[in-house]
């Protein structure tokens, strides 16, 4: 999760750098080119965020989280990862028992 979050932030940073490069190359700012991640303060003093031009609010994120929890959707990759981890743990445990059995003389 940490690596995925780091990669996501890196992509957003790269897009911001590319946007800055385009503006420098053109010599003027164009409203059509928006930043990858922007924060603006609303009239009410609240912060408004937008990612890739789409407005994001904490209410939207909470609603999506609630929907995902209600769905309890089956995540194929999560299940596959858990099964793979269990299999590797079992194989590693068996190998360790075999190696210790060779040293202790128990076969």
Q: Which tokens sit at 87?
A: 């299999």
In a domain, 99, yes or no: yes
> What percent of the chain shows pLDDT beyond 90?
17
Residue 79 lies in a domain: yes
Could you give the number of structural domains in the chain?
Answer: 1
Domain hosting residue 80, numbered range? 74-107
- Does residue 8 belong to any structural domain of this protein? no
User: Which pLDDT tens digit goes with each residue over 45-94?
Assistant: 666 676 666 666 656 667 777 777 666 655 677 778 889 999 999 999 99
Residue 23 included in any domain: no
Q: Is residue 33 part of a domain?
A: no
Q: Using a cut of 0.85, tell me whether the model's pTM lies above it.
A: no
Written as one string, the DSSP assignment of 64-82 is HHHHHHHHT---HHHHHHH
Q: Which residues of 80-103 are buried (b: 16+ CB within 10 A; e: fewer)?
A: eeeeeeeeeeeeeeeeeeeeeeee
Kindly state whether residue 88 falls inside one of the protein's structural domains.
Answer: yes
Q: Could you tell me if residue 22 is inside a domain?
A: no
For 29, residues 6+ apart whose C-beta sits below 8 A from its C-beta are 23
Task: Tokens 């603006």: give the residue.
Answer: 40
């Amino acid at each position: 999760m940490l690596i995925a979050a780091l990669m996501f932030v890196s992509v957003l940073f790269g897009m911001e750098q590319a946007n800055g490069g385009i503006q420098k190359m053109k010599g003027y700012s164009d409203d059509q080119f928006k930043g990858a991640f922007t924060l603006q303060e609303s009239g009410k003093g609240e912060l408004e965020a937008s990612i890739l031009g789409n407005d994001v609010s904490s209410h939207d994120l909470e609603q999506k989280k609630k929907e995902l929890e209600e769905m309890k959707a089956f995540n194929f990759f999560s299940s596959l990862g858990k099964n793979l981890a269990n299999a590797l743990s079992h194989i590693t445990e068996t190998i360790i028992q075999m190696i210790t059995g060779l040293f202790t003389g128990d076969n």
